[in-house]
Structure 1
């Protein structure tokens, strides 16, 4: 049940980021991405502080490097490219691209971070790709 609630919360906050991107005017895509990621980081820090899970003293140099890699390359660069393309690509194409993000995140964790993949993650990838394919067929 906790996983379902976390997934719903994640979907809600992702929708909030999309709405925030529509309300920010006059910034280029990378500035817009910086505002969105800064807002997300702020709320994540507040959440971590509120539940008592904010302890940076246990992070190693490798942990900091991987966190920065994930934050800057995967999230920052991907968001910059994605939000930069929203005005130049058809809505259907950007919708399909939004399906790719969670699949890329799981693949990066498996192939780059060498984390084991579970059957549940494989099922999730299949569901995401199946939703993407069925959405493309409806178009």
Structure 2
């Protein structure tokens, strides 16, 4: 029987190494499931930060989410016995990649919450996450010289078409140009963060400590926003609950799940699957915040759902379109190689 906890904490990036077609099928579906779970949790962030009488300033929401998320991910790394991998990674030549990931995470937090404040939860989230798969696919194609798979192109086109329908004006609230631009910046930052994680995966690094390191760096960048911000929203228990949900659940738990999913889900497909986040945000905005949903918006949700279904459909012969290299296929210098964990556990 396959151990679910062992899969999440393990470093086996190739499903075939787990033994047989049945495990490949299970690993593929589990990877898809945890990425989708992360996207759904992310979809609650904008709504939580916009609740009436509790809503924190955008900069405060970004800062507290980054700092508390970093603390949660560090604790998860320690609990998984991967602290040595984290410290070795921060001392080694991978630091430049981690700095890029930290800047991307910090930029995403600030740009996203500001966009949500200016444009509303539904529109800000739709633009941010709708642009991420496009940016990720283009950047990956340019850097690797390999075009995305036809299945990815079909799924992403379908989902982005749905996003375009969700962007149509409702007549209730005019779209703020600055908010739209910041949402697109957030999408590009998230795509960059995902591609950095994919790079670390290809080099054999553990993705949980990689995520913790990225969030730790972003927390340093975002901490001045806490020091000089307005903390009045934290004076009520509801405000504290919002901060904890943003940091521990939509950041710590969600990004840990995303890192686990990226062990078996290629980055282009994972970015397409994160379009479940704007679907969640639109539905929550409709149900909790009273944001309107037009017939074209409903059609957009259906198209996005169709694109997600195409993205998560198992590939033929249970092979991903971008399988990780087999162990030892890419040389890694001894100085940059993360130490093996004790007890035979790969993390």
TM range (shorter): 0.5 to 0.7
Cα deviations across residues 13-47 of structure 1 (Å, max 9, x unaligned)? Answer: 1123213323446654333332333344444455x
- Within a 5 Å distance, the mapping from 1:1-139 to structure 2 comes to 1-24=177-200, 28-45=206-223, 48=225, 54-59=229-234, 60-89=236-265, 93-107=269-283, 114-119=288-293, 123=297, 127=300, 130-131=303-304, 133-134=306-307, 136=310
**Structure 2, unpaired ranges of 5+:** 1-176, 316-347
Match of 2:275, SS? Answer: helix
1:11 Cα deviation after fit: 1.0
User: Are the structure 2 counterparts of residues 63 and 107 from structure 1 closer, same or farther at C-alpha, using a change threshold of 3 Å?
Assistant: farther
Over the residues paired in the alignment, what is the CA RMSD in angstroms? 3.6
Single out whichever of 11-20 and 24-33 deviates more from structure 2.
24-33
- Contact 2:211–2:259 (CA under 8 A) maintained in structure 1: yes
Cα deviations across residues 56-110 of structure 1 (Å, max 9, x unaligned)? Answer: 2442332121121122112321221122111223566534422112333444566
- Contact 2:208–2:260 (CA under 8 A) maintained in structure 1: yes
Q: How many residues align?
A: 130
**Structure 1, unpaired ranges of 5+:** none
TM-score by length of 1: 0.64
* Structure 1 Cα separation of the partners of residues 212 and 255 of structure 2: 9
1:5 Cα deviation after fit: 0.7
* Structure 1 Cα separation of the partners of residues 188 and 268 of structure 2: 21
User: Are the structure 2 counterparts of residues 127 and 36 from structure 1 closer, same or farther at C-alpha, using a change threshold of 3 Å?
Assistant: farther
User: Are the structure 2 counterparts of residues 116 and 45 from structure 1 closer, same or farther at C-alpha, using a change threshold of 3 Å?
Assistant: farther
User: Are the structure 2 counterparts of residues 43 and 17 from structure 1 closer, same or farther at C-alpha, using a change threshold of 3 Å?
Assistant: farther
Structure with max Cα Rg: 2
- Contact 1:33–1:79 (CA under 8 A) maintained in structure 2: yes
